[in-house]
Amino acid sequence: MRRIWAPWRIEYIRSEKPKECIFCQKPKENRDAENYILFRGERNFVILNLYPYNPGHLMIAPYRHLADLDGLTDEELLEHFDLVRKSARALTDAYNPQGFNIGMNLGKVAGAGIEDHVHTHVIPRWNGDTNFVTVVSDLRVVPHALDATYAELMERIA
């Protein structure tokens, strides 16, 4: 039997799950540090992923609730991808990754966890970040706490 110690997960397990889209709800709360919102643009914002693939895994989302790219205005699209670029720069300054995975999962079959609100993932990558634990146990080790990641990126993303 495999046992994984992850005491931070109990808060999520016991918490009431949001009924509203998190990309719509979180910016309205005006609790950016608690919600790990790193930056607010005029039309889009940058937020850390609560269940990151790697340290620094963040997402860019428009404020408007849209399921696909066709609904974005030119201004929303331009700012969205400008924030992708700025986010990659901030992650480079903070963590010196050797590469990035940058992309969108549009639709449930494409792997979208939140399929009704378009968003872009920016994931820093390092040589060897796929270690034996992932290969032998279908498990990912994320060696950096969200609070620490948030503090480091806040200094660089603005």
Kindly report, residue by residue over 77-110, the tens digit of the pLDDT. 999 999 999 999 999 999 999 999 999 988 888 7
With contact defined as beta carbons under 8 Å apart, do 102 and 120 qualify?
yes
Q: Which residue type, as a one-letter code, is found at position 130?
A: T
Please, what is the Cα angle at 90 between 92 and 28, to 5 degrees? 145
Strand partners, 45: 40, 61
Structure tokens at 120: 């872009």
Domains of the chain: 9-157 (3.30.428.10)
pLDDT band at 13 (very low <50, low <70, confident <90, very high): low
Indicate if 80 belongs to the active site.
Answer: no
Give residue-wise pLDDT tens across range 14-64.
667 667 899 999 999 999 999 999 999 999 999 999 878 788 999 999 999
Question: What global pTM score does this model have?
Answer: 0.78
- Residues 51 and 11: beta-carbon distance below 8 Å: no
| Mean pLDDT along residues 137-141 | 52
**107 in Cβ contact with 14 (< 8 Å):** no
Residue 137 pLDDT greater than 50, yes or no: no
User: What is the rounded distance in angstroms from the CA atom of residue 38 to the CA atom of residue 48?
Assistant: 7
Cα(151)–Cα(7) distance, integer angstroms: 21
Catalytic residue from among 65, 80, 117, 119: 119
E strand map for the chain: 37-40, 44-48, 58-62, 99-103, 120-125
**70 versus 150: which is more confidently predicted?**
70
